[in-house]
């Protein structure tokens, strides 16, 4: 009995010491709140704070905010964990805005919501340390008088996404003065969201890896994937110029050296970037960073927050663009040639429903600025369109925010399990087929599952885990619990897949040549994410020919007017193959830049 009382006393003492330690340590680590002088908003000084950004708490956004008695004087920030072309450009714009309106209570940048919230939270925390109530700081009105801005260039480009920057760089390399008008606050558009890679045939990277491929096979795969409603001449142009496009990316120090497999492809032809450790990187942010740097190196002017609304015409020829910015300024650029590269309309619910009423309510993977502005201003100059009803849904999308889970994971061996814990389709089928298969499952969702062998080499998976999309499962039992089924069911599914990989034959669903040398979802831990289909790509758009010239409703070329990328129709037909969007914007971006340069002479 005495020993029990002693043990109880020891426990109480330990708890008391722990409580005192926590209270003292908490007081030591809790930021001190300064007291402003009477009548002042802040206690003058410099205050530091941090908050999780895009990569989470492991690499937070850090700020140093300097204030005087009644003014936010300066904001310094460290944003090492943010994507350079997204959060890396959003945070400076936000800092400038906070200083202008003297408040952190401003709208986030829609392209960079997570980075924006992290930065503004950190600034608010710093101001709180200065003795202010951040929520009570009402943004001040900044009066700006609208003005007309006139510029002149050899070539003007609408859109600073992959196609627009590729076209601009090509023209600048030909000695042309180029101006780009970009609707957003930074470059990239939908191109920044591309996660997989770029399809190309007969490349030196394929040859080095011992992969046999041909332009003809690339052409056939693309036509078949698009249900043969593609424009054959555009598809052949895409395939024939794909290898040279890879070489061109090499020339601007943007090599896509790893070769993987994408849905609908007969062979490994999806080219992907890797870092110094050999880890596979998301292709979109990689290319946008290199393209935007090359634009800067070549002196290409990019005007941001400039929404194009009119193609200027003179005697039937395109001679410039008109745009308005967020301050109401009119921007007019006069040029010899015009290139349209504004993307599709995946973030415009009204246009989605107009052309495809059955897609009402679907979440979209698109950048917020991709709203189909070009349809109206190209119609106004007599341009023709095709396949606008051909809107692709992607099978693996996180429904909470429209984040895309890359098809490249399935190309590397990932499988799909329904809510019952079993496979239900060939995961490397075309996107329309796999999407339909997911929609046929109970509750219209599935789990994408991969393993440590892939995760260890994938920056994408690391990102998905850090953002909470993909769940790490240390055991098969953990995976089964996540899905909500018995462990034996999931183990049986995995065993069947392992057998398919060992034999090279998927008896259940005919997945071509499953490759155990890549992965066969066996190396623990496993990783899983719940997905459903979402709106992803607009295959239809303005009509172009193989010179990237825009065609009018009478079948004639509109002189001086070119287009490239997702704004165009005909390349992808009724279904785009994964990896072909990047090929499209590089190949036809280069063609548009070359031909616009020749025309401007």
Would you please indicate which residues are annotated as catalytic (active-site) residues? 431
Torsion of CA 344, 348, 354, 357, to 10 degrees: 100
- CB proximity list for 89: less than 8 A, separation 6 or greater: 112, 185, 186, 187
> For helices 215-225 and 242-251, what crossing angle results, to 10°?
110
User: How far, in Å, are 9, 111, 334, 405 from residue 515 at the CA level?
Assistant: 62, 37, 55, 21
Question: What tokens were used for 146?
Answer: 């609208």
Angle at 445 (CA atoms; ends 443, 451), nearest 5 degrees:
145
Q: What is d(CA 114, CA 122) in angstroms, rounded to the nearest whole number?
A: 12
Question: What tokens were used for 204?
Answer: 């030196």
Give Rg (Cα) of the chain: 27
Among the listed residues 597, 565, 600, 544, the one whose alpha carbon sits nearest the alpha carbon of residue 170 = 597
Q: 96 exposed, middle or buried (CB, 10 Å; 0-12, 13-18, 19+)?
A: exposed
Q: What is d(CA 238, CA 368) in angstroms, rounded to the nearest whole number?
A: 28
Sign of the torsion angle spanned by Cα atoms 56, 57, 58, 61: positive
Beta bridge partners of 271: 198, 259
3-state class percentages of the chain: helix first, strand second, coil last, to nearest 5: 40, 25, 40
Cis peptide before 555 (omega within 30 of 0): no
Q: What is d(CA 117, CA 64) in angstroms, rounded to the nearest whole number?
A: 16
Q: Do 33 and 131 form a contact (C-beta atoms < 8 A)?
A: yes
Among the listed residues 439, 420, 414, the one whose alpha carbon sits nearest the alpha carbon of residue 484 = 420
Question: What tokens were used for 246?
Answer: 């890879």
Q: What is the DSSP string of 157-190?
A: EE--BHHHHHHHHHHHHTT--EEEE-SSSSSBGG
HSE-CB of 301 using CA atoms within 13 angstroms: 13
User: How far, in Å, are 70, 123, 124, 140, 562 from residue 103 at the CA level?
Assistant: 12, 9, 9, 8, 43
């Amino acid at each position: 009995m005495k020993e029990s009382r002693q043990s109880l006393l020891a426990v109480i003492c330990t708890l008391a010491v722990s409580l005192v330690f926590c209270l003292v340590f908490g007081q030591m680590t809790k930021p001190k709140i300064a007291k402003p002088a009477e009548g002042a908003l802040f206690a003058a000084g410099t205050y530091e704070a941090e908050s999780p950004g895009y990569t989470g708490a492991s690499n937070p956004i850090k700020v140093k905010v300097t204030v005087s008695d009644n003014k936010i004087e300066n904001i310094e920030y460290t944003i090492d964990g943010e994507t350079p072309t997204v959060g890396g450009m959003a945070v400076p714009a936000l800092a400038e805005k906070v200083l202008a309106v003297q408040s952190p209570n401003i709208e986030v940048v829609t392209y960079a919501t997570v980075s924006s919230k992290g930065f503004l939270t950190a600034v608010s925390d710093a101001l709180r340390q200065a003795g202010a109530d951040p929520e009570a700081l009402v943004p001040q009105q900044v009066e700006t008088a609208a003005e007309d801005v006139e510029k002149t260039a050899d070539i003007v480009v609408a859109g600073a996404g992959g196609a627009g920057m590729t076209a601009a760089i090509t023209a600048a390399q030909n000695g042309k003065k180029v101006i780009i008008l970009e609707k957003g606050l930074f470059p990239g558009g939908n191109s920044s969201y591309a996660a997989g890679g770029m399809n190309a045939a007969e490349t030196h990277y394929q040859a080095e890896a011992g992969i046999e491929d041909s332009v003809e096979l690339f052409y056939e795969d693309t036509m078949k994937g698009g249900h043969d409603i593609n424009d054959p001449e555009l598809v052949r142009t895409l395939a024939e110029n794909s290898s040279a496009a890879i070489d061109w990316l090499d020339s601007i120090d943007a090599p896509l050296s790893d070769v993987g497999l994408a849905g609908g492809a007969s062979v490994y032809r999806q080219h992907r970037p890797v870092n110094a450790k050999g880890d596979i990187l998301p292709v979109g942010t990689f290319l946008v960073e290199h393209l935007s740097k090359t634009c800067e190196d070549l002196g290409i002017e990019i005007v941001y927050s400039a929404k194009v609304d009119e193609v200027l015409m003179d005697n039937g020829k395109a001679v410039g663009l008109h745009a308005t910015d967020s301050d109401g300024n009119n921007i007019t650029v006069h040029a010899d040639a015009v290139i349209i590269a504004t993307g599709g309309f995946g973030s415009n619910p009204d246009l989605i429903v107009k052309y495809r009423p059955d897609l009402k309510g679907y979440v979209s993977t698109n950048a917020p600025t991709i709203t189909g502005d070009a349809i109206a201003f190209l119609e106004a100059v007599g341009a023709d369109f095709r396949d606008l009803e051909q809107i692709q849904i992607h099978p693996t999308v996180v429904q909470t925010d429209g984040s895309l889970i890359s098809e490249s994971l399935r190309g590397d061996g990932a499988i799909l399990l329904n809510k019952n814990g079993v496979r239900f389709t060939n995961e490397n089928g075309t996107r329309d087929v796999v999407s339909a298969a997911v929609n046929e499952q109970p509750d219209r969702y599935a789990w994408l599952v991969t393993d440590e062998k892939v995760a260890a080499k994938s920056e994408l998976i690391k990102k998905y885990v850090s953002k909470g999309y993909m769940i790490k499962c240390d055991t098969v039992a953990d995976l089964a619990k996540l899905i909500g089924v018995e462990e034996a069911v999931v183990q049986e599914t995995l065993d069947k897949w392992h057998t398919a990989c060992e034999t090279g034959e998927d008896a259940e669903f005919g997945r071509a040549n499953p490759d155990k040398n890549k992965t066969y979802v066996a190396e623990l831990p496993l990783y899983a994410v719940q997905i459903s289909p979402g709106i992803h790509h607009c295959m239809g758009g303005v009509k172009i020919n193989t010179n990237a010239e825009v065609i009018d409703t009478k079948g004639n070329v509109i002189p001086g007017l070119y287009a490239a990328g997702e704004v165009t129709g005909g390349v992808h037909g009724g279904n785009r193959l994964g990896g072909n969007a990047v090929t499209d914007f590089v190949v036809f971006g280069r063609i548009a830049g070359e031909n616009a340069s020749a025309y401007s002479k």
